[in-house]
Copies of this chain bind each other. A is one copy, B any other.
């Protein structure tokens, strides 16, 4: 099957689940994805699509025939439908919604009444709920019928207006008398999510609750759906992969995205970083006279900049994580800064001494070695403070420190490094 394309499918390919198929598709170019698609079990189609990375999904949907997308969406769950529609152009999405059943249409409408970073949009509405006015015997009969998927051994209880009342466990149901009303047995619970909550916050709450899901409730008490630990895991994965991508100066892009699209996206990162490089060049240009006098300065200056860069990125990484988890507050920011400063001081003294020794041996110039050592210490100390304060300030201005932090930091460590080193040399060698 498709072996002529040199695609190596695992021998047990007929038993692959949706997640495994998604990983395989992501490793293929769009052409081969298209050829492979009709050979995959159609019942997995929608699950495979939503397992794809966002960028891959968009690019694959762009080449997949309309008919094929329509068919897939019509047999999708509500959450899958929402995720597929999100990746389609608005016009196509609207056309496909019209083909859905009236029930599915109203579910999708509820989902899209929320913003894309609100948990309400991704709450699973297709969940088995128990009416508080039913009695135990009726509920057990319903469960027996087996038509409803059971997410766990706990069931959601609602009133006749679909307002959330609480939960009840299978043990409690089995132990109760047949005639007892659910309303008398239900456990109320504070462990719920608000439908307007941010996706990442909601995911953290589900994780911390140690439960398999939390019910999502609107401000007026209406039960919207459930948000599961699997959903939370997906959110975390997207979050972390974006962070890793940003640290690597790239967007979270498809492995085989089209060359021109990829070039355009990466050009943005290159352009931003070029500004840093130009600023550094300007600083060096200011001190061109001393460079003509002492060429060793040009040889050694990258060391000053890079030692500052590494020190700064260490403090920056720790601070960004602390801010993301809410562990850094006004109360402990100064404690963190003092610690980072002390760590940088110890390391800068140690490494500056070593580098100065090597420099003295290399260029046989004690003054140069001294200027180098002092510059390294100053740049590393400034870097540690910048690493703490840049993300804090960025967050205050509503900018994500994980995206903008490292570029600004590199600018600071390059500019300060070159300025102190070449400026110091100018003062001493040219006066």
Evaluate whether A17 and B152 lie within 8 angstroms (CB atoms) in the complex, with A143-B171, A270-B307, A326-B23 already known.
no
Query: Judging by beta carbons under 8 Å apart, are B26 and A327 in contact?
Result: yes
Of A58-66, A105-113, A330-338, the segment with at least 4 beta carbons within 8 Å of chain B is A330-338
Q: Are A311 and B270 in contact (CB under 8 A)?
A: yes
Q: How many angstroms from the CA of A317 to the CA of B406 in the assembled complex?
A: 16
Flag if B152 contacts A170 (CB, 8 Å): no
CA distance A343 to B250 in the complex (A): 12
Q: Which residues of B contact A144 (CB under 8 A)?
A: 171, 174-175
Copies in the complex: 2
C-alpha spacing A336/B259, complex, angstroms? 10
Pair A327/B255 contact, Cβ less than 8 Å: yes
Chain A at the B interface: mostly helix, strand, loop or mixed?
helix
Give the distance in Å from the alpha carbon of A148 to the alpha carbon of B8 in the complex: 46
State whether A336 touches B255 (Cβ < 8 A): yes
Q: Which B residues are in CB contact (< 8 Å) with A339?
A: 256, 259, 262
**Docked pose: A21 CA to B274 CA in angstroms:** 43
A302 to B277, Cβ gap below 8 A?
yes
Interface check A13, CB cutoff 8 A: no
The interface bits of chain A over 350-368 (1 if a CB of B lies within 8 angstroms of the residue's CB, else 0) are 1100010010001000000
A210 and B21 alpha carbons, distance in the complex (Å) = 13
Q: Which residue of B lies closest to A283 (CB)?
A: B299
Residues from chain B with Cβ under 8 Å of A15 in the complex: 190
Convert A340-354 into 0s and 1s, putting 1 for each residue whose CB lies closer than 8 angstroms to a CB of B.
001100110011000
Say yes or no: B174 contacts A269, CB within 8 Å: no
- Give residues of chain A (281-300) contacting chain B, Cβ–Cβ below 8 Å: 281, 284-285, 288, 291-292, 295-300
Encode contact with B along A115-144: 1 for CB under 8 Å, 0 otherwise. Answer: 000000000000000000000000010011
Q: Give the distance in Å from the alpha carbon of A366 to the alpha carbon of B172 in the complex.
A: 85
In the assembled complex, A306 has its CB within 8 A of some CB on chain B: yes
Query: How many whole Å from A309's CB to the nearest CB in chain B?
Result: 8
B7:A331 contact, CB within 8 angstroms: yes
The reply to whether A277 and B255 form a contact with Cβ atoms under 8 Å apart is no
Q: Whole-angstrom distance between the alpha carbons of A263 and B339 in the complex?
A: 10
Q: Which residue of B lies closest to A239 (CB)?
A: B240
Partner of A303, one of B6, B241, B277, B313: B277
Interface residues of A in 231-257 (CB under 8 A from B): 232-233, 236-237, 240-241, 243-245, 247-250, 253, 255-256
Asked if A336 meets B171 with Cβ closer than 8 Å, knowing A248-B317, A328-B27, the reply is no
Please name all residues of chain B whose beta carbon is closer than 8 Å to the beta carbon of A347 when the two chains form the complex. 263, 266-267, 270
A399 is an interface residue with CB less than 8 A from chain B: no
Confirm or deny: A424 has a beta carbon within 8 angstroms of a beta carbon on chain B: no
On whether the beta carbons of B249 and A229 are closer than 8 Å, the reply is no
Q: How far is the CB of A25 from chain B (nearest CB, A)?
A: 9
Contact of A14 with B by CB under 8 A: no
| A40 sits at the interface (CB 8 A) | no
> Cβ of A24: which chain B residues have Cβ within 8 Å of it?
327
Contacts of A266 in B (CB 8 A): 311, 314, 343, 347
Asked if residues B292 and A17 are in contact (CB atoms below 8 Å), the reply is no
A210 B19 Cβ-Cβ under 8 A: yes
Q: How far is the CA of A394 from the CA of B269 in the complex (A)?
A: 26
9 contacts between A and B (CB under 8 A): A146-B171, A232-B233, A244-B247, A249-B317, A259-B339, A259-B346, A288-B298, A297-B298, A298-B301
